[in-house]
Amino acid sequence: MALIDDILDLAATPAHLLPQNAMVKARFSLLDWMTCGLSGLDEPVAQKIRAFAENEGGANQATTFGGILAPARLAALVNGTTAHALDFDDTHFAHVGHLSVGIFPAAMAMGEALDAPLRDVIAAFLLGAEAAIRIGVQLGAGHYNLGFHQTATAGAFGATVAVGRLMGLSHAQMRQALGLCSTRASGLKSQFGTMGKPLNAGLAASNGVECAQWAALGITSADDGLHGPQGFFSTHHASPDSEAPLRDGFLFEDNLYKLYACCHGTHAMIEGLLSLGVPFDQVAHIELRTNPRWLAVCDKKSPRTGLEVKFSYGWLAGMALRGDDLGDRGVYTDALCDDEALAQFARNVHVSGDNTQTDLQAAGNVLMKDGTSLPFHHDLAAPMPAEVLRAKLTAKATSLLQAQGAALWALEDQLTDLTAADFWKHAAL
Amino acid sequence: MALIDDILDLAATPAHLLPQNAMVKARFSLLDWMTCGLSGLDEPVAQKIRAFAENEGGANQATTFGGILAPARLAALVNGTTAHALDFDDTHFAHVGHLSVGIFPAAMAMGEALDAPLRDVIAAFLLGAEAAIRIGVQLGAGHYNLGFHQTATAGAFGATVAVGRLMGLSHAQMRQALGLCSTRASGLKSQFGTMGKPLNAGLAASNGVECAQWAALGITSADDGLHGPQGFFSTHHASPDSEAPLRDGFLFEDNLYKLYACCHGTHAMIEGLLSLGVPFDQVAHIELRTNPRWLAVCDKKSPRTGLEVKFSYGWLAGMALRGDDLGDRGVYTDALCDDEALAQFARNVHVSGDNTQTDLQAAGNVLMKDGTSLPFHHDLAAPMPAEVLRAKLTAKATSLLQAQGAALWALEDQLTDLTAADFWKHAAL
């Protein structure tokens, strides 16, 4: 089946056929997206994009982080940018990108504009995210490695699907919306390290709102924007990985959540060490094996700033075992670099590259001062029971937002009774 | 010099150093853009994009074709789309695209928002257009042939330069604006034949307004969005033509204007025949030589609709010589296909491919009934005196808009005394 037809069928999936496991994760993504957005709203890029929206003004259709009302398109731009400002949001590794920050701002903005029930917004997000994953997987490593940012590119198509679903676009209109997205979607990895990176998430979201609205107005486009002649795939270096996941069901179930405010490459080690539960001061030596790609990224031997601590296996191993709250972005201070206990601990952490570990895995041994050797291993891709993940995400929200974060996660059971507008009132105010 | 530095230097050119020939053509482009926009405002895509803008609303910063006030970004989107709806606007062949429809909407919208003198808007357009040409030439045939639409892609950078110039961005801010444009610009040729094509012009214009505004707010980006790592060029199949024009001065001086509402591939023939000034009923036979690429495009032997007449050398040759107004888009009726005099004339027009003709040239002979043989040749790239071009563009505007078109061109001498807002009042109302 042509990808465009697969996506169009997907977009029309009846709500009662959506897999329950995926819907649970979609709710988690909503709450985690809200957590990241509320936590990021004072970041410089978030303030600037709000100033842009305030200058532009327009119909009061949808709420932004920071409490502006704006047209749906503009709210999507602000909220995607704001929620990605801390880079603390969810990741789907096969998609190669971040799903909630590109798609929930679009779905929420249109949901609020239409006064839709939140359950429809969540279903629309799930279908948009699944569309973005399938498109992202097919764009593949070639697209990413050459310089495109799937969060923005595949994400725009996902946002288009989510918004189009909420607007009730017909099959033919959704096809036109995807065709329009093929000429609208953009986003480069050259923005990494600048405010352009979070902006890319906002672009995905706002492009999705526009393309669905344009199609609803009857603006015509290419018949197959993805694989048609001069379509998005042939122009944007699509090169699907031969090992691309192909299976029944929703790839969205593999979505991963960032639980610690440090480099993702250190998270498997942190989980492995925490699972041992050994006391910091009883550890003599740690031997860690990790995918070689991470050695150049997060093995800072002598961090000089709090930011560099986020990329230091040695420091983070010590912090994890002594109980520092690694989900609290305020914990990564410059003063940590002068913490003699951590520095001494880090000297006893030995890191080596190991091609048998995927980039989501870590393995090793902890040698205790009493001579006991404790092997550990963690795979971030391994399924995590929903209740465990819920507890970890609630802890993350509480670290970031204190009581507001706990109250946000307490809403989980009521989400299906709320409208999109209600949710903003309960969560953000 | 790196292209980015060339563009940044260009953007800072003092107004008094702008070449006068280029400034004359920039004024022509303004009036021709206004002609195309006023003529296109009832086209379906124009009505739809206005409806989109009315739904969104916002600050009353800038005027659109059709008389809405909207934020500058949104006015640029509406006016780019509207002015390209008829595909009757100017073309720069080395740039591979249309300049006025992507750049004037952006410059005019920001000029009006800032209450700038129209002369500053025209200068900003000229510099933006020159930037778009230099970027378009360097993106080259590879970019275009693979499926990108320079009108939209290089056009967005040009619009960014024009708007940034009007906003008084510093050198460093303009660099950031171009970096933001590298992650924002998009536009595919797969939209040709759909409303997505004129929309691409609107996207160029609105992207330019956004990127300049974002940079002014301090949103950061890649240092060299064009040729930096994972920049626009390496990701978007840049492949400059080895014969790309490189010369001192402004390439904008080569800008061409569409004078007849039919396929551009027929225009050299039309000019050549008109230069002979022979009477229609005295012609026995015409032998026409044209670049072979056009044979598949505009040699319809038996057009069945008014649209097909626009792609028929034979019909158009007859219409030109009998004095039909080929600049009037209303002249191309279906009834022409049943015009026996034209059908008979067309049977005596013999067309052949000739590789010695560029795609801007045509040559041939007209054999008169009295036995006289009259050779003709025309090169659309040959310089045309400004007064000749002015007369032709005024005739075009008058055909399209009657008295309003004539009044518009009568404004030419006063343009430098007006503000951007004044110009809308005089031209459009």
Q: Do B44 and A218 lie within an 8 Å CB cutoff?
A: yes
In a domain, B390, yes or no: no
pTM, two decimals, is: 0.95
Q: Are residues A423 and A367 in the same domain?
A: no
Q: Is B260 within 8 Å of B327 (Cβ atoms)? A: yes
Domain match, B251 and B306 both: no
Note whether residue B282 is domain-resident: yes
Task: State whether B361 and B216 are in the same domain.
Answer: no
Q: Are A19 and A10 in contact (CB under 8 A)?
A: no
> Residues 164 to 203 of A: which have CB under 8 A from any B CB?
179-180, 182-191, 194-196, 199-200, 203
Q: Given CB atoms, is B145 within the 8 Å cutoff of chain A?
A: no
Whether the CB of A84 is below 8 Å from some CB of chain B: the reply is: no
Same domain, A58 and A161: yes
Phi-psi domain of B221 (left: phi exceeds 0; alpha: psi -120 through 50; beta: other): beta
CB proximity A213 to B under 8 Å: yes
Q: B44 — contact with chain A (CB < 8 Å)? A: yes
Indicate the residue of A184, A188, A194 with minimum beta-carbon distance to B230. A188
Residue by residue, pLDDT tens for chain A (429 residues) are 899 999 999 999 999 999 999 999 999 999 999 999 999 999 999 999 999 999 999 999 999 999 999 999 999 999 999 999 999 999 999 998 999 999 999 999 999 999 999 999 999 999 999 999 999 999 998 999 999 999 999 999 999 999 999 999 999 999 999 999 999 999 999 999 899 999 999 999 999 999 999 999 999 999 999 999 999 999 999 998 776 666 778 999 999 999 999 998 999 999 999 999 999 999 999 999 999 989 988 999 999 999 899 999 999 999 999 999 999 989 999 999 999 999 999 999 999 999 999 989 999 999 999 999 999 999 999 989 999 999 999 999 999 999 999 999 999 999 999 999 999 999 986
Going by C-alpha positions, the residue among A78, A73, A151, A72 that lies closest to residue A114 is A72
To test the contact with chain A by mutation, choose from B182, B190, B199, B236 the residue with the greatest count of A C-beta atoms within 10 A, namely B190
Q: Which domain holds residue A403?
A: 3-256+386-428
CB-nearest partner of A222 from B196, B203, B217: B196
Cβ within 8 Å, pair B183-A179: no
Does A373 lie in the same domain as A391?
no
B409 touches chain A (CB under 8 A): no
The whole-angstrom distance between B281's CA and the closest CA on chain A is: 44
Quick check: B232 contacting A, CB < 8 Å?
Answer: yes
- Is the CB of residue A12 less than 8 Å away from at least one CB of chain B? no
Q: What is the pLDDT of residues B315-324, one digit of tens each?
A: 999 999 999 9
Residues on chain B touching A152 (C-beta within 8 angstroms): 183
DSSP state of B230: T
CB–CB contact A48 B185 (8 Å): no
- Which of A45, A183, A207, A217 to probe by mutation at the B interface, max B CB count within 10 Å? A183
- Residue with structure tokens 């669905």? A212
Cβ B133 vs Cβ B167: under 8 Å: no
Under 8 Å CB-to-CB from A17, ≥6 apart: which residues? none
* Residue among B387, B353, B4, B397 at smallest CA distance from A190: B4
Tell me the average pLDDT across B142-151: 94
Per-residue burial over A199-226, b = 16 or more CB atoms within 10 Å of its CB, e = otherwise: bbbbbbbbbbbbbbbbbbbebbbbebbb
* A134 and A203 part of one domain: yes
Looking at the structure, tell me whether residues B277 and B144 fall in a common domain: no
CA B338/CA B305 separation, integer angstroms: 10
Of the candidates B97, B95, B90, B109, the residue with the CA atom closest to the CA atom of residue B31: B90
Same domain, A316 and A406: no
In a domain, residue B205? The reply is yes
Q: What sign has the CA pseudo-torsion A24, A25, A27, A32?
A: positive
The total of other beta-carbon atoms located within 10 Å of residue B3's CB is 17
With helix as H, strand as E and coil as C, how does chain A read?
CCHHHHHHHHHCCCHHHCCHHHHHHHHHHHHHHHHHHHHHCCCHHHHHHHHHHHHHCCCCCEECCCCCEECHHHHHHHHHHHHCCCCCCCEECCCCECCHHHHHHHHHHHHHHCCCEHHHHHHHHHHHHHHHHHHHHHHHHHHHHHCECCCCHHHHHHHHHHHHHHHCCCHHHHHHHHHHHHHHCCCEHHHCCCCHHHHHHHHHHHHHHHHHHHHHCCCCCCCCCCCCCCCHHHHCCCCCCCCCCCCCCCHHHHCECCCCCCCHHHHHHHHHHHHHCCCHHHEEEEEEEECHHHHHHHECCCCCCHHHHCCEHHHHHHHHHHCCCCCCHHHCCHHHHHCHHHHHHHHCEEEEECCCCCCCEEEEEEEECCCCEEEEEEECCCCCCHHHHHHHHHHHHHHHHCHHHHHHHHCHHHHHHCEHHHHHHHHHC
Per the CB < 8 A criterion, the answer to whether A303 and A311 are in contact is: yes
Domain with residue B19: its CATH number is 1.10.4100.10
Mutate to test the interface with A, among B48, B163, B178, B186 (most CBs of A within 10 A): B186
- Same-domain check for residues A230 and A184: yes
Q: Are residues B9 and B116 in the same domain?
A: yes
- Output the DSSP codes for B233-265: HHHTT----TT----SS-GGGG-B---SSS-GG
**Residue B59 and residue A56 in contact, taking contact as beta carbons nearer than 8 Å:** yes
Cβ-nearest to A179 among B196, B217, B222: B196
Which has the closest alpha carbon to A238: A247, A249, A225? Answer: A225
Q: Do residue B100 and residue B238 come from a single domain?
A: yes
A56 in B contact zone (CB under 8 Å): yes
Domain count, chain B: 2
Could you tell me if residue B391 is inside a domain? no
**What CATH number is associated with residue B335?**
3.30.1330.120
Residue B229 DSSP class: T
Q: Which of B146, B189, B230 sits opposite A189 (nearest CB)?
A: B230
- Token readout for A208 is 């999705």
Q: What is the rounded CA–CA span in Å between residue B426 and residue B429?
A: 6
- So what's the ipTM on this one? 0.95
Mean pLDDT (chain B, rounded):
95
